[in-house]
Structures are given as structure tokens and as C-alpha cells.
A and B are shown apart, each in its own frame.
Chain A
Amino acid sequence: MNSLDAGREQVIATYNFAYLDEQTKRMIRRAILKSIAVPGYQVPFASREMPMPYGWGTGGVQVTAAIIGPDDRLKVIDQGADDTTNAISIRKFFERTTGVETTTLTADASIIQTRHRIPETPLTAGQILVFQVPIPEPLRFLEPRETETRTMHALEEYGVMHVKLYEDIARHGHIATTYAYPVKVEGRYVTDPSPTPKFDNPKMHRNPALQLFGAGREMRIYAIPPWTEVVSLDFEDHPFEVQAFERPCALCGADDVFLDEVITDDRGGRMFVCSDTDHCNTRQAEGHAGEQEA
């Protein structure tokens, strides 16, 4: 019995730049171009199996792999942080398969792949933000059938979306959706912003950066081109509102950011710190301090 021959080991060991073969990248780029042409519309694409599991960012990874070039500088965050395990794993994947420079500084990155957050530091023209999306269909939990939701999008039948918001208000007195809060893009498609907190929704509106969304398992790509209008769904008398935090960040004192709650001891002690680690570090380096540091 012969074990794996040397030739095959070589084949397994060598991959194309950014893992995907060029044909696949072209296919993905076509989907991306279409998604930019029709903002907020979910373009089906022949998603590939990636060497990380579905649901762990394969959509975002495929989008990044299709657009990244040797001169790019990549930042990867998960929950706003560069040092969470999945962010590390994806960053290492691109370091290994492309050799591009990576960074944790939002302002220095040309491509930022993210899961669940938009950086606090405002993005600039020329940057690309790539979102990892688990369920791209904003209507999915109101209507499970793809054939039906496709028709609803085509005919702009979005009444049922407001039915859900109505129910929230009737029951709780306010809209009780806190993340993956649906938006309308350029007045046409209702779109899922991925499970970012609604705190980040306003950042999507007229953002100078290109925002790309990849859903690997569900095989969809969609986009919000630069400067596109993004409106969070609401009622005139119950306007969309973002979360407000009672305290500033305990480390850098920022009071206009999304905070993580950290449990500090087993007696219910807790503190609140920036979820965006780069933003927090940068502010601390600039001399800002929160209550813990003061």
C-alpha cells in the first residue's frame, strides 16, 4: 500500500493567493459588482466550502479573498476586538495565504473584515468594510420560505416587517429589536445589517466607505456602496433610537461608544469598557482616561 506520494503533498501544500482559485474569485467579483449596482439586494453566489466552518465567517472570508491584493492592509475584528479568537484565526488565515500586511488600526486598514460591529473610528473613502453575515434575509423569521421572501422583495411587500415593529410597541411600549435591526437601503430593499447592535446602524448611512456583506452558508452577497442612504425602519411617533449607556468607558472615558460589560468578581462587580479595542487603546494612548485609570 502506498501512502500519499510526494507530488500530492505538494499539491495540498500550495494554494493560490488568498486561497481561492482565480475562476472562483472572478465569480465572486461579478456577484460583488452586481450587488454594488443594486444596493441592498441579495445576490446569490456559488459559495465555496472554506477551510473554516460555515457560520464562522466564510461569506466575509470569500468576499475579502476575492477583493484583496498584495498592497492591501487588512484588519480583522470580531465583536469590535482584534484579539478575539475568531478574529485572530481569520487574520492568520490571510497572513498565511496572502502575506499581506495586517493592522489593528482602523485608520490604517484598506480592508476591514468584521463580525458584529462597525468600528467607532469613522471610516474614510477608499476603505472597504466586509461584514460576516449568518442570515442575510431580513424577512426570514417572518417568512421562512426563500421562494416567498424573494417575491416579497421583488414586489416591495414589506408591510409584515412593520407588523413586527408594531407588535413590539404594542407589547413593550417601544421597539424591542436590539441587533440585526432592519434597514431600508436607498429607498428600495429592506436589508439585514448583520447582527451588529442597532447602535451601529447610523454609521451605515452615507458612509464614505464601501460596505460589503458576505453570507457563505446562505450563499448571498450584498452591498451598501459609499454615500448610500440607509434608513432604520421605524414609526414617525416611535423613531429609531440607538442604545445609550449610563457610564463612559472605564478605561478611556469615551461616552459615545458601544460598551461591553465585564464581570470583575464573583460578587456581582462589573465594569463597562469599549467593545472596539483599537478605539479604546488609541484614546488611552492619546491621554484619555476613564474612572479606573483616573
Chain B
Amino acid sequence: MYVAVKGGEAAIDNAHRLLADRRRGNRDVADLGLDQIMEQLSLAVDRVMSEGALYDRELAALAIKQARGDLIEAIFLARAYRTTLPRFGYTQPVDTGRMQVERRISACFKDLPGGQLLGPTFDYTHRLLDPALAGGAAPETPEVREPDAAPMMRVSDFLGQEGLLEPAPDPADKPVPDDIARNPMSYPMDRDARLQALARGDEGFLLSMGYSTQRGYARSHPFAGEIRIGEVELEIAVPELDFAAPLGRIQVTECQMVNQFQGSAKAPPQFTCGYGLVFGQAERKSMAMALVDRALRATELGEDLTAPAQDEEFVIAHSDNVQATGFVEHLKLPHYVDFQSELNLVRQMRAEVEARGETHQEAAE
């Protein structure tokens, strides 16, 4: 005899206890500390901060631990927390020209004021697994440069002086930026809103989209004009004060892609810029973001729309991994009712075909 299933609530609770158990794993192995995650998995922490759109290393580390290292799940945790926080105001635009630079490279100039600074990079490492690291060998002490208070001029500033590079948009044109976390997005978007969406977009998705532009789907002849990583000061304007109040420093990665541009009816021949700015050390993401930003400017620059990376609705609507993972994974929720409807329809249609004497059996004979 059939009895409707009950006890879903107990099953859910037990599943969650099992999850907590598996997350902890073998109790003989030391529990992972948030400090260890922050210090030793810092690029994972950076990714959770940027795509979670919440600059907080400890919370990001907690999210990673809670998510068992599943970064998209961790990003989701960070976002769901962030959305409950009150919005106090907007900082002044960050001046990356005044960045305390730890890494700075340009693919356009051999040497330039301030020099090429390699910083802590995987570039030029041979990707050989290192058994010594598994054994916990202590690293050598590196040589570090004296902190330099003097600002390091950006490549875009050099090129801009000659008028060879399009001028950066003037913040005064739009004193209050759009805020995609507070206003519904609508297409077509302004570039500021689009850049916000890209900044928290999925690294893998942007990487593929950016890559596609290099393979001829909206080719933009990019040069890595400059990539710089370092700390910048956040400041906020307070009505009572006549100077901007400092809030603290955050680490960011900035990429300015310089792209060849033939000129159009509206603009002279010059280099154009694709822009990427991401929390923490996130070079790959910032470069991909800059490529995609440039591709999405096709309409503004009067270029033909031929490739997926130029399609704003396509790119922006599918770049958010919290949205994407939710909707893909919702397919495992029950769909009994819809499936039942389709089941009845397929049965009905099969019966109709059979009634017309057109069974596939007969057709085969």
C-alpha cells in the first residue's frame, strides 16, 4: 500500500550534519585555521573577495572553509552576507596612479619610468611539482624594494599626453556611479555599470570570452599596456569636511589593455583602452576583464557586431556565477508537476499517432 513520503525535514537535517562531518574530514588531521587560508591560499581568498564583491579577507577565508574549498559556493556565501549590509555611501574614485605598487609590467615599452617590477609572479616558474613544498621546506628570504612614496606614472598617462590613447572617461561626467547591487540592471548599460558586472563576473567565463576575442571572434589587437598590483587608498567625501576622509587601503589588480583602433566617424585613429580592475591579486581575471570590456565597446566605437564577446546582453546576463550556478543546479529540485504534464502530453500524442495507424513498428515493416 502506498503512503505519501514524509520526513523530508529530518532527512534535510541529517544531510546537513553529514555535510559538517565530511567537511571536517579525518579528525586526526589538524583543523584548518582561517589564518592558514588567508596566508597560504591567498589567491583563493582574493577570488572570493572579488567575485563575492566583499573586501574582507577573514570572511572570505571563512567562506572557503565552510564551502570545503568550492570557490563558487564560497563566493555565494560572501554575496549572501554582503547583501544584508547597509550601504553608507560611495568612495571617491580610486587613484591607481598613486598605487603603492608591488608588481607592474608593461608589454608595450621595454623600459619606462619606475621600471618593470616583476613582484610575486608565477610567470617564468617552470611548472614542475615541487616535492620540497610538500615537505614544508622554508622558503628563502626574498629581496624587497624599499617602499617608494613617489607615485608611479601609468602607461596610459604617457600615451595620453600625445593624444595617442583615448582619454579616460571623466568621473565628473557621472558624479554618482551606477550601482548594480542596488538598481536593477537594464540593457543597454552604461560602461560603469558594465564594468561593475564584469568585476564580479566569473573568472572562468570572462577568461573564455576574452580568449575568444584573441582567436578572431571580435579581434581587437590587444597589447597589455600595463598591469599593476598594489595597494590603493580608499577615501570618502564627508559633507562636513573639506577634504576626503581616508577609510583604509585595499589591494587591487589593474589591467589596461591598449587596442589598435582605425578611427571612425566619431573618433580619430588612436589607441583605445579595455579596462580591468579586480580586488586582490587577480591578474588573469583583470586581463580577461579588460579584453571583454573592450569587446563590449563595439557599438560605442562603431564596430561591426559579429561575435559573442561583443554581445552585451549575452555576456553580462551570463557572467554572474552565483546566478548561473543557482539556475543550473535548480534542475535538481522536484519538477514532478511539469514532468507529469509533459508525460501526459507525450502519451496523448503517441496514442494519436497509433490511432492513425502510423506506429513506427508498422513503418519499419
CB distance from B57 to the nearest CB of A (A): 11
Query: Which residue of B83, B313, B349 contacts A49 across the interface (Cβ within 8 Å)?
Result: B83
Q: Which residue of B lies closest to A56 (CB)?
A: B330
Interface residues on B, range: 35 or more
B-side contacts of A262, CB under 8 Å: 2
A85 touches B11 (CB 8 A): yes
A-side contacts of B87, CB under 8 Å: 23
Give Cα distance in the complex from A258 to B340, angstroms: 9
CB distance from B84 to the nearest CB of A (A): 6
Which residues of chain B from 61 to 100 have any CB-CB distance to chain A below 8 Å in the complex? 62, 76, 79-84, 86-87
A179 touches B80 (CB 8 A): no
Knowing A88-B9, A179-B341, A260-B337, the reply to whether A219 touches B185 (Cβ < 8 A) is: yes
Q: Which residue of B lies closest to A293 (CB)?
A: B1
B83 touches A217 (CB 8 A): no
Query: Which residue of B9, B38, B86, B186 contacts A44 across the interface (Cβ within 8 Å)?
Result: B186
Query: Which residue of B62, B185, B338, B349 contacts A195 across the interface (Cβ within 8 Å)?
Result: B338
B334 touches A273 (CB 8 A): no
Give Cα distance in the complex from A277 to B340, angstroms: 16
Knowing A55-B326, A56-B326, A134-B327, the reply to whether A78 touches B333 (Cβ < 8 A) is: yes
A-side contacts of B34, CB under 8 Å: 1, 3-4
Query: Which residue of A53, A116, A134 contacts B76 across the interface (Cβ within 8 Å)?
Result: A53
The answer to whether B121 has its CB under 8 Å from any CB of chain A is no
Query: Which residue of A78, A85, A144, A197 contacts B341 across the interface (Cβ within 8 Å)?
Result: A197
Q: Is the interface of A mostly helix, strand, loop or mixed?
A: loop
The answer to whether A259 has its CB under 8 Å from any CB of chain B is yes
Which residues of chain B from 300 to 330 have any CB-CB distance to chain A below 8 Å in the complex? 313, 317, 322-323, 325-330
Which residues of chain A from 169 to 227 have any CB-CB distance to chain B below 8 Å in the complex? 172-173, 176, 178-180, 195-199, 217, 219
Give Cα distance in the complex from A260 to B336, angstroms: 7
Give Cα distance in the complex from A276 to B310, angstroms: 47
Which residues of chain B from 212 to 265 have any CB-CB distance to chain A below 8 Å in the complex? none
B12 touches A145 (CB 8 A): no
Q: Is the interface of B mostly helix, strand, loop or mixed?
A: helix
Stretch of B176-184, B266-274, B277-285 with 4 or more beta carbons under 8 angstroms from chain A? B176-184
The answer to whether B144 has its CB under 8 Å from any CB of chain A is no
A-side contacts of B181, CB under 8 Å: 46
Over the window 114-150 of chain A, the binary record of Cβ atoms lying under 8 Å from chain B Cβ atoms (1 yes, 0 no) is 0111000000000000000010000000001111000
Q: What are 20 A-to-B residue pairs whose CB atoms are below 8 Å? A: A20-B84, A23-B86, A49-B82, A49-B83, A53-B325, A53-B326, A53-B329, A54-B327, A55-B333, A78-B334, A86-B333, A86-B334, A88-B8, A115-B333, A116-B338, A117-B337, A172-B352, A179-B341, A180-B338, A250-B2
List A residues at the B interface (Cβ < 8 Å): 1, 3-4, 12, 15-16, 19-21, 23, 44-51, 53-56, 58, 78-80, 83-86, 88-89, 92, 115-117, 134, 144-147, 172-173, 176, 178-180, 195-199, 217, 219, 243, 245, 250-251, 258-262, 264, 271, 273, 275, 277, 280, 292
List B residues at the A interface (Cβ < 8 Å): 1-2, 4-9, 11-12, 33-35, 38-39, 58, 62, 76, 79-84, 86-87, 181-188, 313, 317, 322-323, 325-330, 333-338, 340-345, 349, 352
